Homo-oligomer: A and B are copies of this chain.
């Protein structure tokens, strides 16, 4: 591959890919430089430092989602709109599971920008849309708050479940060892299969339906 001159976008995109592949902790100016075929110090021409690079990577993902995808389409009902946004956010979280914790952990730019919906421009658009769907000011703000906390809770849980090593590496990997550990916890043991069942997609949709239902009755009242 012939190396063009580096741009800020190149660096930020490379950081996203690197974090997706190796995790944040592995992201090093020297290693990212090497991945780009350049000395670490060249990165400082385009980005002020490591911390800011990570912020920029988060911002890039957010901006791509909200500018390129979410502002193009607008369903005819607010229920459909919520589902549209939720599914897009879910897809982003599952496509970049190593980035998602960063998206929600970095302090937001303003007190009323609630993760993971961290784009002022987009939040404005969202609230404006809710008004068009007939929400009052109070209902719109409440819906925004309820929606963010639903997304946060459900998506982080899904993402963190991905981080669990599927087969916990034990030096003594006989079944007996595992069962012995669980033996002290009879209810967990009995419900183990139910607890381990991963219906995250359905649970996400159900939770969203519940939320929508709650907001609907709140609107009618």
Contacts and interface: CB of A to CB of B under 8 A. Distances in A.
Interface of A: 101, 104-105, 107-112, 114-115, 120-121, 123-124, 127-128, 131, 137-138, 140-141, 144-146, 148-154, 156-157, 160-161, 163-165, 168, 184-188, 190-192, 194-196, 198, 203, 207, 210, 214
A112 B160 contact: no
Nearest to A186: B124
B148 A157 contact: yes
A95 B207 CA distance: 29
A203 B120 contact: no
A164 B112 CA distance: 10
Contacts of A192: 112
B185 A120 contact: yes
B128 A187 contact: yes
Contacts of A114: 157, 160-161
Contacts of A203: 145
A195 to B, nearest CB: 3
A187 B121 CA distance: 10
B160 A127 contact: no
Given A108-B160, A164-B110, A164-B111, A191 B149 contact: no
B185 A124 contact: yes
B112 A196 contact: yes
A137 to B, nearest CB: 6
A52 to B, nearest CB: 14
A207 B112 contact: no
Contacts of A115: 156-157, 160
Nearest to A161: B111
Given A187-B131, A214-B210, A105 B101 contact: yes
A188 B112 contact: yes
A50 to B, nearest CB: 11
B120 A188 contact: yes
A105 to B, nearest CB: 5
B160 A107 contact: yes
Contacts of A214: 210, 214
